[in-house]
Structure 1
Amino acid sequence: MTKAVLDIHEKPTVGQLITFSFQHMFAMFGSTILVPKLVGLSPSIALLTSGIATIIFLIITQFKVPAYLGSSFAFISPIILVAGLSEAGVAINPGNAMIGAMMVGVVYAIVALLIWKTGYKWLMNILPPIVVAPVIIVIGLGLSGTAVDMAMNVDGEYSGLHFSAALVTLATAIIFTVFFKNILSAMPILMGIIVGYIYSVIIGIVDFTAVKNAKFFALPDFLIPGVHYDFQLTGAIFIGMVPIVIVTISEHIGHQLVLGKVVNRNFIKDPGLHRSLLGDGLGTFASALIGGPPKTTYGENIGVLAITRVYSVYVILGAAVVAIVVSFSGQLMALIETIPTAVLGGISILLFGIIAASGLRMLVESKVDFGNNRNMVIASVILVVGIGGAAMRFTESFAIEGMALASIIGVILNLVLPGREVTEKDIYETEE
């Protein structure tokens, strides 16, 4: 087994701390700011809350799990549904999304309590691969139309100039993903955005007016005195966002297993799955309190750990502090706001495709048998309801996001259809 450069509780030198902390910050940066850009929330708040949520996670897990928390892509469609988007791409009712995210955090806490008292095996009955994998596929494919539209169109009309920027961005991200083997391979999203942005500046589709007028230091939106988010507490907020925990909890467990293999620990046992889930949930709840999107542990940062073999929680803590400090840079946040929609569209084509492909990978690795009619039925219904029903409206004022409804239906079908006990593999199995 490869020896760690810095193990979990080893303290780095000042130089190591600064270098490795910035590496982790850059690894998560592209994805963390992309989510709020897509749903009309504040990138600065998303960056700030990623740092805060990570610190909360480290405290709850007793500084035993070197994981970074960033913005969750699973909640993009639900947030757009409950918060709405203006023509300018700004969330109309962001408070609705915040209430939904708080509810998600509460559900995490409840599940963590149940696991603490009864163990985690019962999760297998609710979240087997045949339910989780198709829903993950739905997340990726359901957003594919949005990605392509962002890449090709400006104000509803096709723009070849902007599309070229999307292609440059996409090509760069692919190159860094496939051909680079060092630390840069762990941050293809960030590198794609940087190269795509530079190209956009060259072809003249970036407006720097806001950057010139921005202050060096600026409070993130929700922290500005007098700024507040209104909300309307409706059933649609609960139904539209909470069911997505079916996916994010599975994602969380998967990350804990992969991370455990990377650093040679069993995090399911120590500090325990209940602690890591609670840390994730409280991080999401705290994020929502100040206007940030739901949080999840980041695979990008796990990749950095695997490449650098620096597992120190002090480095993760350092990255969280760096993210918090950067969020108060008014000029940097203004610069982020100038990123063309086409660049975000180009990177989203790859990112959403990878999300969908990871669902297919789970089906393959779990050896789900599609010769079994039960599996075929469950997957088919989830895919059609999730992708076809972007938002299923039952009354004039009540709609359920298609992915959420697909998740609920998938869980129900898995529980009621016969043959469940012999068709699934325990994806949460850990080596003793």
Structure 2
Amino acid sequence: MRQDKIAMDVHEVPKPQKWFILSLQHLFAMFGATILVPFLTGLSPAVALVSSGLGTLAYLLITRGQIPAYLGSSFAFIAPIIGAVSAGGPEGAMLGSFLAGIVYGIVALFIKLLGLGWLMRILPPIVVGPVIIVIGLGLASTAIDMSMYIPGIDEQVYSSTHLLVAFVTLAVTVIASIFFRGFFGLIPILIGIVFGYTFALFLGVVDTTGIKAEWTNMTTASSVGEFFVAFFQMPDFIVPFVHYSPSSVISLEIVLLMAPVALVTIAEHIGDQMVLSKVVGRNFLKKPGLHRSILGDGVATIIASFIGGPPNTTYGENIGVLSITRVFSVFVIGGAAVLALTFGFIGIITATISSIPTAVMGGVSILLFGIIASNGLRMLIDNQIDLSNKRNLVISSVILVIGIGGAFIQITDNMQIAGMALSAIIGVLLNLALPGKESGYGNRSMFDTSEVTQGDSNE
């Protein structure tokens, strides 16, 4: 597989002066989305940070430190969490998250026992490429909404100021990624966020109320003990058998709300792993194995359910950072996880990061989400998929319109198959049903099923 120049490979350890900044960039890239999920669902943003850090460290351990992937709060679980909270409170949502993590484990076991070849045969590049495009473009409206509208109100109110902040942030990020060299060329996302935040502060868009409150608490402390209490704050954890009894909140409604969604996020996970494999230039589905990465997602989600955080999943934003910077070090990812874990306990830091305007994150997301979509297009090109072939044209066209158009199938009042998951399912069915399957593999550069052995060949 052809590789572009790599700034830092998977197992390279960065120098201390670079390590913190590179890890901080990943933290900032995932922060907006990770914190948005608990805000929308009524959970604690600080706990989401802690669970994100712990989940990522567990993921790196399970995948043997071979996959540079960061895990954050999953958007797919927003509606199910809200429904589960209504049915059984936050505790019910945590129990549902635990069950979703179990589903991950079961799927990982099947992949381990049956191998990966069958999966590659039903997911050729002609299916995977358009689905990856859908993953990126499906998030496009989220990035634009964050950029254009005033946050915190029920109805969408257009703001030219917020749009200006987003475009300035985007422009600085693009300039940094294209023209900056050396160390500064490795942190364009962080540069864009810092500049965008400063610009937003100048325009009066930043809400500094939380920062001022935390600063007042620290500066008015009359003793070292009071300062310590003001500086380090315990997040609002929700721990089973301490804050609630699982048997008291379990119900069939919660099970049906939460557990099936894991199948949707597993489909997203496979897409992310394929994007990541393409970006890094290694087949992570083969080594260390898709079963390990899916198990890592499941364990991270179970960890989150034990402390009151939303379910975790691999993050497209951080894949975008990897693609731009070409820094693939798992030590950088691990550093970001440690920072997230630490920052979840520091009040003024969480207040400062929480004050980043959505317009700033929207400006950065325009680029990051677009990169995900572009990687899907690159997969089609690299595998030399012939779109003049009617079969390939039909499959890719149907996947793109269904996925980006927002089609869905309503299963129950609280459950639906929509967007990327539905487009992936229909793409797989079309690929299996239509004749001429070989055309969908192109040059089979990384999807040659003969290269994929059953289970984990490194066990």
- Shorter-chain TM-score tier: 0.7 to 0.9
Find the residue that maps to 2:435 and give its secondary structure. Answer: coil
Match of 1:420 in 2: 437
Distance in 2, matches of 1:169 and 1:278, equals 36
CA positional deviation for 1:35: 1.4
| 1:65 aligned onto 2:66 | yes
| 1:324 aligned onto 2:341 | yes
1:294 to 287, 304, 312: 312
Match of 2:296 in 1: 279
| 1:384 aligned onto 2:401 | yes
Match of 1:121 in 2: 117
Deviates more, 1:360-369 or 1:94-103: 94-103
CA positional deviation for 1:331: 0.9
Match of 1:140 in 2: 136
Q: Deviations over 1:219-276 (max 9, x none)?
A: 2343598699989526454555522422322422553575475xxxx86666555434
Distance in 2, matches of 1:204 and 1:362, equals 43
The alignment covers a number of residue pairs equal to 410
Aligned pair in 2 of structure 1 residues 391, 96: CA closer, same or farther (>3 Å)? farther
CA positional deviation for 1:152: 1.7
Aligned pair in 2 of structure 1 residues 124, 31: CA closer, same or farther (>3 Å)? same
Q: Which stretches in structure 1 are left out of the alignment for 5+ residues?
A: 86-91
> Does structure 1 conserve the Cα–Cα contact (< 8 Å) formed by 2:147 and 2:166?
yes
Question: 1:252 is aligned with what amino acid?
Answer: Q
> Does structure 2 conserve the Cα–Cα contact (< 8 Å) formed by 1:50 and 1:70?
yes
TM-score relative to the length of structure 2: 0.75
Find the residue that maps to 1:122 and give its secondary structure. Answer: helix
Distance in 1, matches of 2:140 and 2:264, equals 21
Match of 2:220 in 1: none
Identity %: 42
> Does structure 1 conserve the Cα–Cα contact (< 8 Å) formed by 2:149 and 2:158?
yes
Match of 1:243 in 2: 264
Match of 2:368 in 1: 351
Match of 2:51 in 1: 49
Distance in 1, matches of 2:411 and 2:6, equals 57
Aligned pair in 2 of structure 1 residues 5, 247: CA closer, same or farther (>3 Å)? closer
| 1:217 aligned onto 2:217 | no
1:151 to 147, 151, 161: 147
Distance in 1, matches of 2:204 and 2:361, equals 16
Distance in 2, matches of 1:356 and 1:4, equals 22
Deviates more, 1:135-144 or 1:194-203: 135-144
Aligned pair in 2 of structure 1 residues 382, 289: CA closer, same or farther (>3 Å)? farther
Distance in 1, matches of 2:339 and 2:378, equals 34
Find the residue that maps to 2:231 and give its secondary structure. Answer: coil
TM-score relative to the length of structure 1: 0.79
> Does structure 2 conserve the Cα–Cα contact (< 8 Å) formed by 1:151 and 1:162?
yes
Q: Deviations over 1:325-360 (max 9, x none)?
A: 122111111112222222222222222222222221
Instruction: From the CA coordinates, give the structure whose radius of gyration is larger.
Output: 2
Distance in 2, matches of 1:391 and 1:81, equals 14
Question: 1:135 is aligned with what amino acid?
Answer: V
Question: 2:72 is aligned with what amino acid?
Answer: S
Distance in 2, matches of 1:152 and 1:220, equals 32
Q: Which stretches in structure 2 are left out of the alignment for 5+ residues?
A: 215-229, 453-459
Find the residue that maps to 1:113 and give its secondary structure. Answer: helix
Q: Deviations over 1:368-416 (max 9, x none)?
A: 2222222222222222222222655466444333222222222222222
Distance in 1, matches of 2:136 and 2:25, equals 21
> Does structure 2 conserve the Cα–Cα contact (< 8 Å) formed by 1:132 and 1:247?
no
Question: 1:292 is aligned with what amino acid?
Answer: P
Match of 1:88 in 2: none
Distance in 1, matches of 2:198 and 2:207, equals 12
> Does structure 2 conserve the Cα–Cα contact (< 8 Å) formed by 1:33 and 1:43?
no
